[in-house]
């Protein structure tokens, strides 16, 4: 059993639960009486506490225990979920995140964090006036005097005033990374263990002993003020594989009779153990004696315990089912899901890439050999490799909705800081893209969202003056377009001030006085390093840091960013990104023998250029003016021109352009490899790949080429004559 892996799993699940807590709190901020959100919040805190207890993370356990008590009062209707409490619970959630990050980093809780823990505990205790207060060391058990009482069915109640817990752990407990004693230790944080009987009857002979198999069971006398759900929650992670019975203080004798009968059916001598725990007196056991109850301890771990009376049903809590339903409500068949280390997926993609290169080499050798059977076999192999490639890439595709949902909290916090009421609208949450892209797009989106809230959306007073609703709207949207994913951040604010941006650019020398710029070109200036139009520096803006970072990060993902704005109506930032950064379908072309690759999903068609005219850089494509660029000239390729040139028509962001090449070589599965730093600023090149023969082919950066072609041809199309073309 690798404890590091188990701890890693705990940390991953804890972070997921923190996200659930945040989502529930955001929901409750809008609708404080949402029972489902309240239960989700309670379950998340409860599960974090239970998991932390298994790893003896006492600070987290004690802190979460106090928060859980408050949430339990909210759930029971004893405490209203007032705004101040919601604000406090947000702080609790954030502090839990700090504590869990500290565990991940292997750090002890700093003194400042400990002080913060106690401050939050003190604030929480104000909302549990009828509960005992706890310090960071955890709850102190409360001694109670035994007292007899009548059971609901007329039976005399048990003299002892403690809980009785009967548990038989499943055989695979150790294999699943659990420690039986950790459950007992965690119970000790909820109260006092009056008596513990460890059962080892199920231990086999040494020759048959399996060190990975659990043979233990326990009979426990437990004194605590915790309620039934809290005690059952200690065993939440093993409830499916273990046998658990829980009898409350002063349980009627009929409940014990049912438990004894169930043990007798399993050939287990439970009577002496109840005496040892002090849960039954000799007189009470004698009164309950029946022929079915064994008097010796010659027993094995029971395969099944029959269900005692209603009060002692095995642990199958409705909350647990609701939790599972909540966790998987958007994932049909989620029971078959497994957690896989992202590095393993990356390694798989790398191996698939090498397989593609090796397959291309094999296919090339087969073609040269002239062996038809070998050529057919390699063709079939290539098809299978392509299917493996698609399946492997699918494993790394994740919905962007989880990334979008994180901005609910950002919008809430920034809106309060700015004094603005802003609604976040999320669309396209199911749109999938490569996990690597998802991981790296978070920071750019954060800059854009904060910038839209600060600069874009006006104050409530100004919005009313302009005839707008006082509540601003910010929208995050994602969709697929031409083999790319498009992410839009739009707002209904005042839009970009073109004149102000241009004046600032002139002041900084970014443009010249006599330079004519389109609106889009002016808007793009805000992505220049250090550019800012903010009147004063604040916590959110004014330092000229952010938008240039956005542009750099998106370019590093082989993407582009552009701005649209309508004065008084709002602005939209549009990000275009490739679906994957690893493997694509490519279309190979050549220039003087050198091979280049164009992403195939951007290729519209191929045509023959039949008239060479150096002065012209456009042609007539079925009545449509198509600007083009000669890649020979762009890349300064030497060598004689071929008798026949071809134009590859590409389309990006709704704009078409032509790329003139020497020859068309056909489709090719392309493994994208990044250029080194020396070539990172090479214009028109987005990476390279290795061909089957071992040669290197450069991958064309189509978005940049299309922009270059369109800008070169801008405004002059109507004054030019068209060249004739013929379809190949």
Residue pointed to by tokens 């978005």: 703
Long-range CB contacts (within 8 A, 24+) of 369-373: none
* Residues 14/51, Cβ–Cβ less than 8 Å: yes
Q: Catalytic pick from 39, 69, 451, 553?
A: 451
Name 607's bridge partners: 647, 727
The answer to whether 566 and 493 are in contact (CB under 8 A) is no
Q: Which residues contact 504 (CB under 8 A, 6 or more apart)?
A: 525, 531, 532, 533
Beta strands per DSSP E along 515-602: 560-566, 570-578, 583-591, 594-599
Could you say which of 22, 23, 39, 46 is catalytic?
A: 46
Q: How far is the C-alpha of 287 from the C-alpha of 278, rounded, in Å?
A: 16
CB count within 10 Å of CB 233 equals 25
Nearest-angstrom CA–CA distance, 223 and 575: 60
Residue 635 · residue 644 · CB < 8 Å? no
Q: Please name the residues in contact with 5: beta carbons below 8 A apart, sequence gap of 6 or more.
A: 177
Return the sign of the alpha-carbon dihedral for residues 381, 382, 383, 384.
positive
Cβ neighbourhood burial of 422 (10 Å; 0-12, 13-18, 19+) = buried
Summary count for the chain: helices (H), strands (E): 22, 22
Q: Which residue has the tokens 């060249």?
A: 723
Active site residue 46: yes
Torsion sign over Cα 133, 138, 140, 141 = positive
Q: Which residues pair with 651 in a beta bridge?
A: 656
Q: Contacts for 30-38 with beta carbons within 8 Å, 24 or more apart?
A: 32/80, 32/81, 32/82, 32/86, 33/81, 36/326, 38/71, 38/74, 38/75, 38/81
CA dist., res. 377 & res. 370, Å (int): 13
Structure tokens at 708: 């270059």
Three-state SS for 524?
helix
The yes-or-no answer on residue 68 being catalytic is yes
Q: Which position among 22, 23, 59, 68 bears the catalytic label?
A: 68
Torsion angle of the four alpha carbons 246, 251, 253, 254, in this order, in degrees rounded to the nearest 10: -70
3-state secondary structure 88-139: HHHHHHHHHHHHHHHHHCCCCCCHHHHHHHHHHHHHHHCCCCCCCCCECCEC
Distances (CA, A) of 56 to 51, 75, 195, 464, 506: 9, 27, 21, 55, 62
Q: CA torsion sign, 103 to 105 to 106 to 112?
A: negative
What are the backbone angles phi and psi of residue 630, rounded to the nearest 5°?
A: -90, 115
Burial of 303 (0-12, 13-18, 19+ CB in 10 A): exposed
Which pairing describes strands 472-481 and 422-426: parallel, antiparallel, or unpaired? parallel
CB 198 within 8 A of CB 218: yes
Report d(CA 224, CA 189) in Å as an integer: 10
Nearest to 599 by CA among 583, 589, 584, 580: 584
Residues annotated as part of the active site: 46, 68, 451
């Amino acid at each position: 059993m690798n404890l590091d892996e188990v701890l890693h799993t705990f940390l991953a699940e804890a972070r997921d639960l923190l996200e659930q807590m945040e989502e529930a709190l955001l929901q409750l901020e809008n609708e404080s009486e949402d029972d489902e959100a309240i239960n989700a919040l309670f379950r998340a805190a409860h599960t974090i506490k239970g998991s932390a207890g298994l790893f003896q993370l006492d600070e987290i356990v004690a802190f979460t225990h106090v928060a859980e008590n408050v949430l339990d009062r909210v759930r029971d209707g004893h405490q209203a979920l007032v705004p101040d409490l919601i604000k406090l619970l947000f702080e609790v959630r954030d502090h839990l995140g700090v504590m869990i990050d500290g565990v991940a980093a292997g750090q002890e809780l700093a003194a400042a964090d400990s002080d913060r823990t106690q401050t939050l505990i003190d604030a929480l205790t104000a909302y549990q006036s009828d509960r005992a207060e706890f310090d960071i060391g955890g709850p102190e058990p409360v001694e109670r005097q035994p007292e007899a009482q009548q059971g609901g069915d007329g039976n005399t109640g048990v003299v002892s005033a403690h809980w009785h817990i009967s548990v038989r752990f499943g055989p695979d407990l150790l294999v699943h990374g659990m420690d039986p004693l950790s459950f007992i230790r965690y119970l000790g944080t909820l109260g006092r263990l009056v008596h513990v009987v460890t059962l080892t009857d199920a231990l086999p002979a040494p020759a048959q002993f399996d060190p990975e198999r659990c043979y233990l069971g326990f009979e426990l006398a437990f004194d605590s003020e915790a309620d039934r759900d809290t005690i059952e929650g200690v065993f939440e992670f093993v409830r499916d594989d273990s046998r658990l019975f829980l009898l409350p203080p002063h349980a009627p004798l009929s409940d014990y009779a049912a438990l004894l009968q169930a043990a007798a059916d399993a050939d287990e001598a439970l009577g002496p153990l109840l005496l040892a725990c002090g849960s039954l007196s000799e007189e009470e056991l004698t009164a309950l004696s029946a022929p079915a109850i064994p008097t010796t301890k010659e027993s094995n771990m029971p395969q099944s315990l029959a269900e005692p009376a209603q009060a002692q049903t095995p642990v199958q809590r409705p909350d647990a089912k609701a939790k599972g339903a909540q966790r998987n409500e958007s994932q049909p068949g989620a029971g078959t899901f497994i957690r896989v280390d992202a590095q393993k997926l990356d390694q798989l993609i790398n191996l698939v890439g090498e397989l593609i290169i090796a397959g291309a080499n094999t296919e090339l050798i087969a073609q040269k050999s002239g062996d038809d059977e070998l050529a057919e076999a390699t063709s079939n192999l290539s098809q299978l490799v392509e299917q493996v490639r698609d399946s492997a890439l699918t494993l790394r595709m994740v919905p962007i909705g989880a990334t979008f949902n994180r901005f609910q909290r950002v919008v809430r916090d920034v809106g309060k800081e700015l004094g603005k009421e802003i609604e976040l609208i999320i669309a396209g949450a199911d749109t999938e893209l490569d996990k690597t892209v998802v991981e790296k797009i978070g920071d750019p989106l954060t800059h854009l969202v904060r910038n839209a809230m600060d600069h874009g959306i006006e104050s409530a007073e100004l919005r009313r003056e302009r005839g707008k609703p006082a509540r601003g709207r910010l929208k995050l949207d994602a969709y697929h377009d031409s083999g790319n994913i498009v992410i839009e951040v739009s707002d209904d604010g005042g839009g970009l001030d073109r004149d102000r941006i241009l004046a600032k650019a002139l002041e900084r020398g970014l443009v010249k006085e006599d330079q004519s710029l389109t609106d889009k070109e002016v808007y793009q200036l805000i992505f220049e390093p250090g550019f800012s139009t903010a009147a004063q520096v604040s916590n959110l803006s004014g330092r000229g840091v952010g938008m240039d970072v956005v542009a750099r990060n998106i370019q590093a993902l082989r993407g582009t960013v552009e701005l649209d704005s309508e004065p008084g109506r709002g602005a939209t930032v549009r990000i275009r990104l490739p679906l994957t950064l690893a493997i694509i379908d490519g279309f190979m072309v050549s220039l003087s023998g050198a091979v280049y690759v164009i992403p195939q999903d951007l290729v519209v068609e191929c045509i023959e250029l039949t008239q060479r005219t150096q002065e012209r850089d456009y042609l007539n494509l079925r009545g449509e003016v198509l600007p083009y660029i000669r890649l020979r000239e762009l890349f300064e390729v030497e060598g004689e021109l071929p008798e026949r040139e071809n134009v590859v028509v590409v389309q990006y962001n709704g704009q078409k352009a032509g790329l003139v090449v020497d020859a068309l070589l056909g489709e090719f599965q392309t493994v994208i490899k990044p250029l080194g730093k020396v070539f990172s600023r090479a214009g028109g090149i987005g990476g390279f790949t290795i061909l089957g023969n071992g040669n290197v082919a450069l991958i064309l950066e189509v978005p940049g080429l299309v922009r270059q072609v369109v800008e070169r041809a801008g405004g002059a199309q109507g004054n030019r004559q068209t060249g004739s073309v013929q379809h190949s």
